[in-house]
Chains A and B, each alone.
Chain A
Amino acid sequence: MALKTDDLRVYYQTLKGDVKALDGASFTLEDGEIMGLAGESGCGKSTLAKSLILLKPPMKYVEGRVRLDGEELPIWDDEKMNSFRYKNVSIIPQYAMNAMNPTRKIGKMVKELLKSRGISPGEKRDELEHRLDLVDLTRDVLSMYPIELSGGMKQRMVMVISSLLDPSLLMADEITSALDVSTQKAVSEMLVEFRDKDFIKSLIFITHDISILYQIADSITVMYAGKLVERAPTEEITGRPLHPYTKLLISSLPKIGAKYTEEKLEGIPGKPPELLEPPEGCRFKNRCPKKEEECDEEPPFREVSPGHKVACWKVKKDVS
């Protein structure tokens, strides 16, 4: 397996105390898998991605282990992580538009980046050009400044840079949310191609938009208030969601062909809990239509059918 996290906890330090943004995440990611990570803002999905590559204050490592390709990833040690970053783990950040140094020409910036990893830029020149072709960028962009590129072009450039050293794990953090629908589709499909062409082994694709995940992901993991609540193959989770939160999330999505006058959709009442002092037990219980007494105890994240994990007391094992 490519990635395995074990009970990973990462908090944010604030004056009022620790915000428990990621509170015990255990999952494995297979080689070649595209895992979609979904959830509302503040659910911890970006924290999970950031903690795997650059865990810096106010983020605080609390506990948990991460293994990548059988090797321990020392996420708590900023310096030791340096030899993994970019080569083994890489990220396309949320604001990729602003990820490039505005004072450097793009080509020069890429060279500097390669040198900093001890790789001679000439060695990667052909590969770089090949990948620019793949994402429909002309080679001229290398002699341009980031400001000369449109938002979509910058996004694609950052995609090329982030994956240039063929990292085992690539994470894409909300990279499609600021793009137009036609660009969204192009960018998402390019990432699938990166995986198909073995530039990257596996991908964690983070978004709040489950319908994009349905298009490209092999599996979907849903987070709520710092916890993993459900994880299953894509078709399974969209077709047969089990956790009440996932069910509500999916049923609140407007579908083409669904009209207000014919089929009124419902939102999810309430809002997520404060993570400074999260409630005991299930964190969704206050918004959950199925809440019962047992929900005051924390539900385990367990497998209910092959490959389908869910954290809810109300879901019985092997319901089919």
Chain B
Amino acid sequence: MFLNLDKVTKVFKTGTFGGQDLHAVEDVDFGLTEGEFVSLIGESGSGKSTIGRMILRLTSVTSGVIEYRGKDISEFRRQSLKDYYRQVQGVFQEPFSAYNPIFKADRVFRNVKDEFFPEMDNGRWQDKVQDSLGAVGLNPDQVLGNYPHQLSGGQLQRFLIARALLLDIDFLVADEIISMLDASTRIDVLNLLADLKEREGLSILFITHDLSLGYYISERAMILYSGRILEKGVTEKIFRNPLHPYTKLLMASVPRIDKKWEEVEAELEEKQSDIDSGCVYRDRCSFQEKCKQCEEARPELREVEENHYVACHAQEED
């Protein structure tokens, strides 16, 4: 495993004197393989951002272990932590506050050079900046030398992704990075992430509240609620056949432009009643074609010979 979370829990102290415990994240287990694109889907307060922040070491872990390439990240100090940040970076929801409005936007690149590449000469550094701006689809001549207010939200967000790429990262935590952007630009940033994954083999943890975005972009998805993972797996499977009632609720609530809420609700109910009424084994059953009843009614346990019971419609016909 490239990144592995093992029973990760985060407890925040709340109340006037910190007397109450808030379990923001509870016993979360998941792993990411190299070059994988995983969505972490949850509503506000689900703990999704806390998980991202713990991976980035911005928040401490109460119990459990986060391992990156087999090493416990909580043990990283000074040089090893700096090395960790060379490989793992985060981009967050709101691009505007990452910039100081009185300095030019490309100052964020300068800071990376001072911190991580103090030795590199300026010519080579400029080439590197140009490359990474190119990688996020920005034209360096157009965007360099501008102040933050002269750039759009989408451009500022790409700037921050370019900044992360300067470090030759192999893992990016993208926390709600497009929710503040307009519909016309958000899809570009999303496509950019997918391209980076494909071109550079970047692993991405995409944290979002929006199921359709999660579906569009990720190979695997996890549904988080109140600090716990309720359902996880291959994205298509979760979306085609949501099993947890909460996942179903989410699926029914997400506004779509191809189906009305009532239709989605009706569909999900139908699916539910399918499973409620049909034979529980029918999806794997080799007799399935022979017996239409399997979809409609749950077979009763019947005695087919003395002291031998079976619950199968195929046996009833005899």
The segment from B17-25, B50-58, B74-82, B254-262 that touches chain A is B254-262
Chain A residues near B186 (CB-CB < 8 A): 252, 267
- Residues in A neighbouring B213, C-beta threshold 8 A: 254
- Tell me whether A267 and B215 are in contact in the complex, defined as CB-CB below 8 angstroms, given that A182-B43, A185-B261, A255-B256 are known contacts: no
5 residue pairs, one from A and one from B, having the closest CB atoms: A268-B184, A267-B188, A180-B43, A211-B255, A254-B216
- CB neighbours (8 Å) of A189 from chain B are 261
Determine if B191 and A40 form an interchain contact, defined as CB atoms under 8 angstroms apart: no
Nearest CB of A to B272, in Å: 18
Which one of B191, B249, B260 lies within 8 Å of A182 (CB-CB)? B249
Cα–Cα, bound, A75→B32 (Å): 58
Given the known interface contacts A214-B260, A254-B215, A255-B212, the answer about A40 and B249 at a Cβ–Cβ threshold of 8 Å is no
- Given contacts A210-B183, A259-B236, A271-B185, 11 further A-B pairs with CB under 8 A are A40-B183, A180-B44, A181-B255, A185-B255, A214-B257, A254-B213, A256-B212, A257-B258, A258-B215, A260-B191, A267-B191
Contact between A264 and B250, CB atoms less than 8 A apart = no
CB distance from B190 to the nearest CB of A (A): 8
B260: chain A residues at CB < 8 Å are 214-215
Contact of B211 among A181, A212, A268 (CB under 8 A): A181
The contact size tier of chain A is 35 or more
- Bitwise, B224-252 to A at CB < 8 A (1) or not (0) is 00000000000110010000000001111
Kindly identify which residue among A181, A238, A252, A253 contacts B253, using a CB–CB cutoff of 8 Å.
Answer: A181
Q: Does A209 contact B (CB under 8 A)?
A: yes
Q: Tell me the chain A residues, 278-308 only, with Cβ under 8 Å from chain B.
A: none
* A256 engages B215 (CB within 8 Å): yes
**Chain B proximity mask over A82-115: 1 for CB below 8 Å, otherwise 0:** 0000000000000000000000000000000000
Bound form: Cα–Cα A40–B152 in Å: 12
Q: Does B301 contact A (CB under 8 A)?
A: no
Cβ-closest chain B residue relative to A252: B187
Instruction: List residues of chain B with CB within 8 A of the CB of A215.
Output: 255-256, 260-261
* Interchain CB contact under 8 A, A257 and B239: yes
- Contact between A211 and B256 (Cβ–Cβ < 8 Å)? yes
Please tell me if the beta carbons of A181 and B43 are within 8 angstroms of each other in the complex. yes
Name A259's closest neighbour in chain B (CB-CB): B216
B193-226 Cβ-contact flags toward A at 8 Å (1 or 0): 0100000000000000111110111000000000
* Smallest CB gap from B219: residue in A: A261
Distance in angstroms from B265 CB to nearest chain A CB is: 10
A249: interface (CB < 8 Å): yes
Some 30 contacts from A to B, beta carbons below 8 A apart, are: A181-B211, A181-B250, A182-B43, A182-B253, A184-B255, A185-B252, A185-B255, A185-B261, A189-B261, A208-B183, A210-B183, A211-B257, A238-B257, A252-B187, A253-B183, A253-B257, A254-B187, A254-B213, A254-B216, A255-B257, A255-B258, A256-B211, A256-B212, A256-B239, A258-B215, A259-B216, A259-B235, A260-B216, A260-B217, A267-B187
In the complex, chain A residues 207-253 whose Cβ is within 8 Å of any chain B Cβ: 208-212, 214-215, 238, 248-250, 252-253
What 0/1 pattern do residues 168 to 195 of A give for CB contact below 8 A with B? 0000000000001110110011000000
Which residues of chain A are near B6, meaning CB under 8 Å?
A: none
Interface flag for A41 (CB, 8 Å):
yes
A267 CA to B191 CA, complexed, in Å: 9
Shortest CB–CB separation between residue B48 and chain A, in angstroms?
Answer: 12
User: Separation in Å of the A152 CB from the closest CB of chain B?
Assistant: 10
Q: Which residues of B contact A210 (CB under 8 A)?
A: 183, 257
Q: Which residues of B contact A253 (CB under 8 A)?
A: 183, 212, 257
Binding site for B on A (CB under 8 A): 40-41, 180-182, 184-185, 188-189, 208-212, 214-215, 238, 248-250, 252-260, 264-268, 271
Q: Tell me if B182 is interfacial: C-beta within 8 Å of chain A.
A: yes
**Given A211-B255, A214-B255: A267 and B211 within 8 A (CB)?**
no
Contact of A264 among B191, B210, B215, B236 (CB under 8 A): B191
The interface residues of chain B lying within 8 Å CB-to-CB of A267 are: 184-188, 191
Check if A41 sits within 8 Å of B261, measured CB to CB. Answer: no
Closest B residue, CB atoms, query A262? B216
Q: Contact: A214 with B191, CB < 8 Å?
A: no
Chain A residues, Cβ within 8 Å of B210? 181
A212 CB contacts on chain B under 8 angstroms? 255
State the CA gap A212–B186 with chains docked (Å). 17
Q: Which residues of A contact B209 (CB under 8 A)?
A: 180-181
Q: With a CB–CB cut-off of 8 A, which chain B residues contact A182?
A: 43, 249-250, 253
For B261, what are the chain A residues with a Cβ–Cβ distance below 8 Å? 185, 189, 215
Query: In the complex, A256→B213 CA distance in Å?
Result: 8
Q: Collect the chain B residues with CB atoms within 8 Å of residue A252's CB.
A: 183-184, 186-187
Rounded to whole Å, the gap between the CB of B290 and the closest CB of chain A is 32
* Alpha-carbon distance A210/B252, docked complex (angstroms): 17
B216 touches A265 (CB 8 A): yes
Minimum Cβ distance to chain A for residue B139 (Å): 12
Q: Which of B108-156 contact A (CB under 8 A)?
A: 152
**Is there contact, CB below 8 Å, between B257 and A40?**
no
Q: List the B side residues contacting A184 at CB < 8 Å.
A: 253, 255
Question: Which of B152, B254, B257 makes the CB contact (< 8 A) with A181?
Answer: B254
* Residues 239-295 (chain B) with a chain A CB within 8 angstroms: 239, 249-258, 260-261
B194 contact from A41, A188, A260, Cβ within 8 A: A260
Chain A residues near B43 (CB-CB < 8 A):
180-182
In the assembly, what is the distance between CA of A238 and CA of B185, in Å?
Answer: 20
Contact of A248 among B184, B190, B211, B257 (CB under 8 A): B184
Known: A40-B182, A267-B186. A185 touches B194 (CB 8 A): no
